[in-house]
Structure 1
């Protein structure tokens, strides 16, 4: 590896060896063979993930990590845990978690999940015409669901049912 490459890689990390985030809070997801294991937030996501891997009994089963930087990480964490139900989250993930404060908030959470799934469909590269048809069907379905959720949110916010 050349000096320029090494400098670039070092520039990605802060003095403590964590991914440089510019002070932003990251939302991270840890995955295992059985699906989503844990969702959390941190200003030093790689350091926090390393702690989970070392200290949690489920740490050795982590096989994938996803790191995002949403505008409101705390709300995004709450929504992700509530809607995606990671296996090892304790906070926000009781057997019967409290409902969101109002119906519009619940629908916004569902809307965020549907938009994320739509982005996943949009970014998929088809392997064959059959895959393309399945992806197109998924995109149409998600767009219809998003339109329905937006209409329901608008109805609730304007006082109608």
Structure 2
């Protein structure tokens, strides 16, 4: 990590190594290049994030952090996990419904999710040049993934359109 990055991170912590939040509970999100990795709550969010970055097997995937202070942090956490489906949350995450059986529908669902994640990346305000670089990498990764999904959808639709023609020829 560059000295500037280390200074930035040290500046976020108080003398006790925590973010002073006046006793309020924070809702924090940890992001990777492929999207949301984890959502949690804590009265010392950066201390908690440091614990995740030290102990979790997915720690090397984290490229961004977002901290909010909602009125009801516990309810906000449940809602965020339920609706945003972070990859590594277990509590409140429930069972995902099976993907649609139709390949085109499944790809369109995935495209919609990727477009939403891209919009989140594009709406993020960078806090430092390091954050800006990470956000830019995330945006480029999402754009490439969306382009690939659009191509796969077009190929799947073309393949689906050819099936009835082949069936008619056999008759």
Q: TM-score, normalised by structure 2?
A: 0.49
Correspondence 1:5-154 to 2 at 5 A? 13-96=13-96
TM-superposed CA distance for 1:96, in Å, is: 4.8
Partner Cα distance (1:40, 1:65) in 2: 11
Kept after mapping to 1: 8 A contact 2:25/2:69: yes
**Aligned structure 1 segments of 4 or more residues deviating by more than 2 angstroms:** 12-15
Q: Which has the higher contact order (CA 8 A, sep 6+)?
A: 2
TM-superposed CA distance for 1:17, in Å, is: 1.3
Kept after mapping to 1: 8 A contact 2:25/2:73: yes
Q: Aligned with 1:40: secondary structure?
A: strand
Q: Aligned with 1:16: secondary structure?
A: coil
Kept after mapping to 1: 8 A contact 2:13/2:46: no
TM-superposed CA distance for 1:15, in Å, is: 3.9
Q: Aligned with 1:48: secondary structure?
A: helix
Give the count of matched residue pairs: 95
Kept after mapping to 1: 8 A contact 2:28/2:66: yes
TM-superposed CA distance for 1:13, in Å, is: 4.1
Partner Cα distance (1:96, 1:66) in 2: 24
Larger Rg computed on CA atoms: 2
Residues 88, 51 of structure 1: CA spacing in aligned structure 2 closer, same or farther, 3 A cutoff?
same
Structure 2: which 5+ residue stretches go unaligned?
Answer: 1-9, 98-118, 126-171
